Amino acid sequence: MSEHSKNKAEEELKRQSAGVSKKDLEKVIHEQDAIEDKFKTSGPLGRYIEDAKLLFSLIKDYANGSYRAIPWYSIAAIVAALLYVLNPFDILPDLLPLLGLMDDAFVIAKCLSMVESDLHAYKAWKLQNQSEM
């Protein structure tokens, strides 16, 4: 993927994050299976399947109110990235073999780097709450 395409994908993630709403959060949760199906390929998104599961767990816990120790901008970045993956007609249309998913993979990678510390905190919280059960 060219540097130009990476920059466009990053700009798109930031642009979409700014407009994320609670309705978008609910849409991502509702479309979880369709989004996860894109990660279950052997293509560029395949390496992020475990990360995607963690992102879905986090936004579900946020949505149901059980985990709120995360800033909205991190939730918005996650939702925007997952909506980007869902959209087949983004910067590089998913119809293009392998190339069409490379921008999706870059957006997910960028999102993960943006929310890395929040994800670590969430994982620790999740592990602590599971051990208390």
Residue ranges in the chain modelled with pLDDT below 70: 1-6, 42, 88-100, 133
Q: What's the pLDDT score for residue 88? A: 64
For the stretch 42-73, what's the b/e string if a residue is b when 16 or more beta carbons lie within 10 angstroms of its beta carbon?
ebbbeebeebbebbbebbebbbeeebeebeee
Read off the pTM.
0.84
> If you average pLDDT over every residue of the chain, what do you get?
85
Residue extents of the structural domains in the chain: 3-128
